[in-house]
Structure formats: C-alpha cells, structure tokens
Amino acid sequence: MTERMPDFDGGRHGHLVIVGGHEDHENSKEILSRFVQLSGGQGAAIAVITAASRVPDKMWERYDVAFREIGVREVIRVDLPDRATANDPALAVRVRACTGIWMTGGDQKRLLAMIGGTLLDEAMHAALKESGACIGGTSAGASAMCGHMLADGKADLLPEKGSVSLGAGLGFVQRVVIDQHFSERHRLARLLTIVAQNPYLLGVGIDEDTALVVERGVGIEVIGAGSVTVVDGRTMISDVADISTGGTPQLIDVRLHLLPAGSSFALSGEIDHPHQLPPGATHTTPAPLLDFVRNVTKRTSLS
Amino acid sequence: MTERMPDFDGGRHGHLVIVGGHEDHENSKEILSRFVQLSGGQGAAIAVITAASRVPDKMWERYDVAFREIGVREVIRVDLPDRATANDPALAVRVRACTGIWMTGGDQKRLLAMIGGTLLDEAMHAALKESGACIGGTSAGASAMCGHMLADGKADLLPEKGSVSLGAGLGFVQRVVIDQHFSERHRLARLLTIVAQNPYLLGVGIDEDTALVVERGVGIEVIGAGSVTVVDGRTMISDVADISTGGTPQLIDVRLHLLPAGSSFALSGEIDHPHQLPPGATHTTPAPLLDFVRNVTKRTSLS
C-alpha cells in the first residue's frame, strides 16, 4: 500500500474531531468546516462511514452535500451492507488513502458490529497514526472513538448501578468514555454510572453542536455551541462495589470540569487560551486536567 | 418569655429537616414522620408556616391532616396575611414555644419578604437554638433555610453567568446554598452558576421526597427516595470573573459529592453508616465532606 503523506497544516500528528451530535450542517457549519480544514481543506479526500445509521442514504446525502458546500471535491461513500464489505481489501486501501474519515450518528453498537476489528478499522487507524489523517465522528460516531465504548443503557435522574453497559470501541482514544447529546439529554447521571463502576475511565460528555478537537501529542480545543464536561472519579470514595444492582451509589469527591467552547489546552504550552490569558499568551494544561488531555492526545502506534 | 425545654430524644441540639419538595404526605410519610419524631413525637407542638405559598389554605390542610395522621395532637396554623402579623409578639411567643416548625413550599422570596427579620424569625431561631426545636422546610421552605438564599433565575442546560440571583435567607445554615427538586428538574447547571460566582458557598441540591436531616453539632443523614448532591467550588479554577454576562464559565476541578438516602455522617463518629461499614461500626466524616458537614451542623448562638 502506498502511503499518501498529507501536506496540510498540523496534519502530521493526526486529529480527532469528536462531536456531541446535531452539529450544524446547513448554516455556519463551524464544526464540519473545522473537520475539513484538519483533513486538508479543499484538497481533502473524505470518507463518510454511515454504518451506524439505519438510514444510511439520508446520512450520506447530508454529509456529501455539506462537505461539498464547504468545498471538498473528493467525498467518498463507504457503504457497508455487511461486515464482509468492511473486510474488503480494496475498500481498506481507498479509506487508508483518505485525509479525513467521518462517522455519522446512529447506534455505536451497530457501527462496531460492522467494522470493529476489520481491515477497514485497521485502515482508519493507519490513516490517523501513519499519515496524520483526521478522524471525525458525531453522536454514535463520537462514542465509538473510545476503547471502552458506552454501548447501552440509561440512568435518568441518578446514577444506577448496573444500568449502563460498555462495549469494545474503535480505540482512537483510551482511558476515557464518551457520551454525547450531553447537556441536552441530561446525561450526567448516566456518565456517573459508568465512572462509578469504572473509575479508571474519565467520563467525557459532549454537548450537541459541540466538538472536542484533539491534536494528537499536542493538545485539545472545544468548539461549537456548548461545552465538554469531564468527570474524574479516580480519587472518589464510593460504595458502588457493595450496593445492589439498581441502587444509587454514594460518590464522594468526584472531580468535575466544564469546558465551554473556546477552551483550549496544550500539553506543552503552544495553544492560546482565549478565556484566561491575554492575546498572544501561551499556557500549559492545569494540573487537574492534565491526565484527561494526556489520555485523549496520546499517540499510540498501530497494534 | 418562659422557655419550654423539650424532653424528646436528641432534641437538645436542635434539628433541621431540609426537604427537596414533593415529600410523601399520604402514604409512607417517611420524611414527615421523621420531622415529627425529631419534634418530640406525639407530644410535639408543631407550627405550620404557609407564607411561601399563594394557596396557604391548601397547604395548611395538607400538613394539618398529615401531621395529625402521624399522631400529633397540637398543630398550629401560622397565618401571615402580611408582614405586620409576623411582628405580632403574641404570635412570636406561640411559635417560640413550639417543638417543631414547618415551612411549606411556594416561593422563598415571598416567605422572606413576609418573615425575614421579624419577631417570628427571631422566635424560630430561639426555638431551634435555645430549646432544641426542629425546623423543617420543603421546596421553597428548604431554600429559605440558608443565609444566602437561592432566590431567582435558571440555567437550563449549562451554567450561565448572571442568570441566578441570591437573596437574604433565614440563616439556619451558613456557607451553603440549597436548591430543591434537584435531579427531577435537572438543576445542576443552576447550582453550578451560583457556585461559580460564589465559591464561598457550597452548593446543595436536594431531590424530591428526600431530606437532608441535620442534628446540630453532631452530624447529617439523608432520608427518603433520592439523593443530596453537593458541589464544592472552593478550589476550582474558573474564568467566571472575566467572561460576559450570559456566558458559560470554564470550571476546572469542581468537587461533586452524591449522597443517596441512607448516607449518614457524624462529625465525631457516633452515627452508623449503612453503606460502607459493617453493622455496629462507627465512622467519621470523610475529609472531602468535612466542611460541608461542619457548615450545616454548626451551632451558632442567637445574634
């Protein structure tokens, strides 16, 4: 397979654009435009994977139109009627050559059942890690980015032991679990349920029309209309192991971070921070956020 | 004024029963029964203050029936058509002699406008602090317990600078701000708005049919159907002072505690903890909760 080395800005590290669903695709297109920019701009070759959705034609049309309106000339439909197709070597070569790969919403379990562990999955990782491609996903496509993926279940008002299950995700980020439509669907209780039972995972809730933009090895940024919420249960005191299924765990000292659009944090100080610092100043990530930024920006080699 | 020293269990310290609204008043009556017990049981003399409500007759009837069904023989209606009535010395003497004082829901601003700083207000404090009476309040009556009272405003999905205002409350607890109907009305964003702008105050969210029971100088307990959420912003990193009104503040390292019904914490180890400890064991309050428990149990003299 011939490697295609993109020459767009910053692309050498590889980016993730992790979107909380319902991103604007008709007007400002702020998030989709950023995804295109990080994929190489008008010269990008963008693959659209609609496998999460039960209405893939509608999803394809939406993003084909939006990306072309932004100016992308090469938008490629990755149609996956079955898992065998995701193991088609010719398809994998096409996706491997793309500079941007977009995963639509739908059901992350469906997406993983279709592509998890296939040649297509490998091609996506290679594109990101060896060629610095940009991987974007919205809603189900965002949750699917994690190694441990929020798969199923809900906790409406309070955390509820055993009510939410994890599955094996695509693993573009590790040691985090991502939920989407976060503030709009009041999903803190669901995220706390996961974190209570899996304190190893940092919980990340992304609002609608909001993206966590990750430059691997460098830093993160929040763009769009809402916020990214991070819950860190690593030092909490909890009785979750002792209570019955269905019970509400006692949680003491969960750390919560709210990062509105405009927030940005660099591992080594190279990103401006529009909120707290004067123009032109640089900063490093505050200590309470450091592991979160490290986890999502971590550059791992192909396994 | 002759002091009436109650002889009921534990009453020497004085209790607060702070309820998140919609407590059961027809079936189990768990919370109202606890309030009655802490007020002296069947021998209690309970005053019902309906001033927060615009339908005081309905409120009076509800609690008169409920308290009598629990077995209380002396239930006293405190009718406050105006502020002058709250300054009636004869009324103050009657309330001062009560072993339990209950504040209904409604609007905490209305309640404070009617009784804040009056002889009735003084009588309530004296009953609690000098005679060990029990002060209970639900919904508006819960928020009104604080020195700095959540008065007005909302933040639906995300914290919003300037959207929530404080007022002067009754001051039975200091350095905390209490919100109610907490999980049911998804009020974390509203509570974070207050805490972001007033990190001195610990935010306390109480669910419906749930009570934070405080024994002054001793400890706390959560009873009922839901949980009590505490948000502690004292060590957070925030840009709230620099952003515009209406903006979402960046909040890093807010401490969050979720205390479901059954949680109990003693300042000096005398209360059992049903979740974490074997039967009969005692414990003290974990360090991250210590200031919260200290603030709400603090015994202050009459000012």
Residue B162's alpha-carbon distances to B81, B146, B165, in angstroms, are 33, 20, 7
Please give the residue of chain A at the shortest CA–CA distance from B239. A276
CA distance A35 to A54: 24
pLDDT at A19 over 60: yes
Beta strands A100-103 and A45-49 are: parallel
pLDDT mean over B138-159 = 97
Q: Is B94 helix (H, G, I), strand (E, B) or coil?
A: helix
Place of tokens 């009570």: B211
Q: Give yes or no for A20 touching B (CB within 8 A).
A: no
Whether B288 sits inside 8 A of A239 (CB atoms) is: no
Q: What is the CA radius of gyration of chain A?
A: 19
Determine the number of helices (DSSP H) and then strands (DSSP E) in chain B. 9, 15
Tell me the residue type at A2.
Answer: T
pLDDT at B61 over 90: yes
pLDDT at B11 over 70: no
Determine the structural domain holding residue B63 and report its residue range. 15-152+209-225+260-297
- The pLDDT of residue A5 is 38
Among candidate residues B293, B269, B21, B232, the one with its CA nearest the CA of residue B139? B21
Asked if residues B120 and B86 have their Cβ atoms less than 8 Å apart, the reply is yes
Local confidence band at A300 (pLDDT 50, 70, 90 cut-offs):
confident
DSSP result, chain A: -------STTTTT-EEEEE-S---SSS--HHHHHHHHHTTGGG-EEEEE-TT-S-HHHHHHHHHHHHHHHT-SEEEEE--SSHHHHT-HHHHHHHHT-SEEEE-SS-HHHHHHHHTTSHHHHHHHHHHHHH--EEEEETHHHHTTBSEEEEEE--SSS--TTSEEEEE---SB-SEEEE-STTTTT-HHHHHHHHHH-TTSEEEEE-TTEEEEEETTTEEEEEESSEEEEEE-TT-EE-TTTSPTTPPPPEEEEEEEEEETT-EEESSS-S--TTTS-TT------GGGHHHHHHHH------
Whether A158 sits inside 8 A of B258 (CB atoms) is: yes
Please give the residue of chain B at the shortest CA–CA distance from A288. B253
Q: Catalytic: B283?
A: no
Which chain B residues are within 8 Å of A260, Cβ to Cβ? 158, 247-250
Among candidate residues A189, A203, A191, A197, the one with its CA nearest the CA of residue A231? A203
Whether B276 sits inside 8 A of A250 (CB atoms) is: yes
pLDDT at B274 over 50: no
Asked if residues B253 and B195 have their Cβ atoms less than 8 Å apart, the reply is no
Whether B183 sits inside 8 A of A189 (CB atoms) is: yes
- Count of CB atoms situated within 10 Å of the CB of B167: 17
Local confidence band at B153 (pLDDT 50, 70, 90 cut-offs):
very high
Best mutation target, B235, B239, B250, B264, to test chain A (most A CBs within 10 A)? B250
Whether B252 sits inside 8 A of A286 (CB atoms) is: yes
Percent share of chain B, pLDDT over 70: 91
CA distance A207 to A157: 18
Residue A233 Cα, gap to closest chain B Cα (Å):
10
CA distance A116 to A95: 15
Report the CATH number that the domain containing residue A163 is assigned in CATH. Answer: 3.40.50.880
- The pLDDT of residue B300 is 80
Higher pLDDT, A7 or A251: A251
Q: Give yes or no for B108 touching A (CB within 8 A).
A: no
Among candidate residues A257, A157, A255, A231, the one with its CA nearest the CA of residue B260? A157
Whether A276 sits inside 8 A of B243 (CB atoms) is: no
pLDDT at A190 over 50: yes
pLDDT mean over B160-180 = 97
Whether B158 sits inside 8 A of A227 (CB atoms) is: yes
Q: Note whether residue A8 is domain-resident.
A: no
Q: Note whether residue B3 is domain-resident.
A: no
Q: Which residues contact A230 (CB under 8 A, 6 or more apart)?
A: A202, A203, A204, A205, A256, A257, A259, A289, A292
Is the ipTM reported for this complex over the cut 0.85? Answer: yes
- From the centroid of its chain, how far is CA A151? 14
Best mutation target, B227, B235, B283, to test chain A (most A CBs within 10 A)? B227
Q: Note whether residue A49 is domain-resident.
A: yes
Best mutation target, B222, B275, B283, B292, to test chain A (most A CBs within 10 A)? B275
Q: Which residues contact A135 (CB under 8 A, 6 or more apart)?
A: A14, A15, A16, A17, A100, A101, A103, A124, A127, A128, A145, A172
- The pLDDT of residue A4 is 40
Q: Give yes or no for B281 touching A (CB within 8 A).
A: no
Which chain A residues are within 8 Å of B259, Cβ to Cβ? 250, 252
Q: Catalytic: B139?
A: yes
- Pair of tokens at residue B96: 């001062």
Which chain B residues are within 8 Å of A248, Cβ to Cβ? 226-227, 258, 260-261
pLDDT at B235 over 50: yes
Supply the mean pLDDT for chain A. 91
Whether B255 sits inside 8 A of A257 (CB atoms) is: no
Q: Note whether residue A50 is domain-resident.
A: yes
CA distance A135 to A17: 6
Among candidate residues A154, A196, A132, A204, the one with its CA nearest the CA of residue A174? A204
Residue B166 Cα, gap to closest chain A Cα (Å):
22
Q: What phi and psi, each to the nearest 5 degrees, are found at residue B173? A: -130, 145
Residue A188 Cα, gap to closest chain B Cα (Å):
9
Positions of A annotated as catalytic residues are 139, 181, 208
Q: Note whether residue A178 is domain-resident.
A: yes
Residue A36 Cα, gap to closest chain B Cα (Å):
27
Whether A256 sits inside 8 A of B259 (CB atoms) is: no
Whether B256 sits inside 8 A of A254 (CB atoms) is: yes
Whether B249 sits inside 8 A of A226 (CB atoms) is: no
Local confidence band at B284 (pLDDT 50, 70, 90 cut-offs):
confident
Residue A163 Cα, gap to closest chain B Cα (Å):
16
- The pLDDT of residue A303 is 53
pLDDT mean over B127-148 = 97
Tell me the residue type at A222.
Answer: V
Q: How many CA atoms lie within 13 A of A41 on its CB side?
A: 4
Give the tens place of pLDDT for each residue, A71-118.
999 999 998 999 999 999 999 999 999 999 999 999 999 999 999 999
Among candidate residues A72, A224, A53, A43, the one with its CA nearest the CA of residue A64? A72
Q: Give yes or no for B54 touching A (CB within 8 A).
A: no
pLDDT at B151 over 90: yes
CA distance A131 to A129: 6
Local confidence band at A301 (pLDDT 50, 70, 90 cut-offs):
confident
Q: How many CA atoms lie within 13 A of A111 on its CB side?
A: 33
Q: What is the CA radius of gyration of chain B?
A: 19
Whether A276 sits inside 8 A of B247 (CB atoms) is: no
Which chain A residues are within 8 Å of B262, Cβ to Cβ? 250
Place of tokens 């300054």: B87
Asked if residues B243 and B303 have their Cβ atoms less than 8 Å apart, the reply is no
Give the tens place of pLDDT for each residue, A229-250.
999 999 999 999 999 999 999 9
- The pLDDT of residue A276 is 42
pLDDT at B269 over 70: no
Question: Which has the minimum average pLDDT: A20-34, B107-121, B226-240, B257-271?
Answer: B257-271
CA distance A101 to A235: 36
Asked if residues B202 and B231 have their Cβ atoms less than 8 Å apart, the reply is yes
CA distance B221 to B225: 13
Residue B293 Cα, gap to closest chain A Cα (Å):
13
- The pLDDT of residue B280 is 41
Tell me the residue type at A94.
Answer: R
Supply the mean pLDDT for chain B. 91
Q: Which residues contact A61 (CB under 8 A, 6 or more apart)?
A: none
Q: Is B296 helix (H, G, I), strand (E, B) or coil?
A: helix
Residue B256 Cα, gap to closest chain A Cα (Å):
5
Q: Give yes or no for B185 touching A (CB within 8 A).
A: no
Burial class, B2, CB count within 10 angstroms (exposed 0-12 / middle 13-18 / buried 19+)? exposed
Which chain B residues are within 8 Å of A181, Cβ to Cβ? none
Give the tens place of pLDDT for each residue, A140-172.
999 999 999 999 999 999 999 999 999 999 999
Local confidence band at A283 (pLDDT 50, 70, 90 cut-offs):
low
Place of tokens 């941007």: A100
Q: Catalytic: B22?
A: no
Q: Note whether residue B50 is domain-resident.
A: yes
pLDDT at A8 over 50: no
Beta strands B237-238 and B219-224 are: unpaired
Place of tokens 């805490």: B195
Higher pLDDT, B3 or A204: A204
Best mutation target, B22, B156, B158, to test chain A (most A CBs within 10 A)? B158
CA distance B188 to A207: 15
Tally the domains of chain A.
1
Q: Note whether residue A169 is domain-resident.
A: yes
Tell me which residue in A158, A258, A288 faces B159 most closely, judged by beta carbons. A258
Q: Note whether residue A155 is domain-resident.
A: yes
Give the tens place of pLDDT for each residue, B184-220.
999 999 999 999 999 999 999 999 999 999 999 999 9
Tell me the residue type at A219.
Answer: G
Among candidate residues B127, B103, B160, the one with its CA nearest the CA of residue B40? B127
Bridge partners (DSSP) of residue B266 are B219
Place of tokens 């419906």: B208
Q: Give yes or no for B168 touching A (CB within 8 A).
A: no
Q: Give yes or no for A207 touching B (CB within 8 A).
A: yes
- Pair of tokens at residue B57: 């007759």
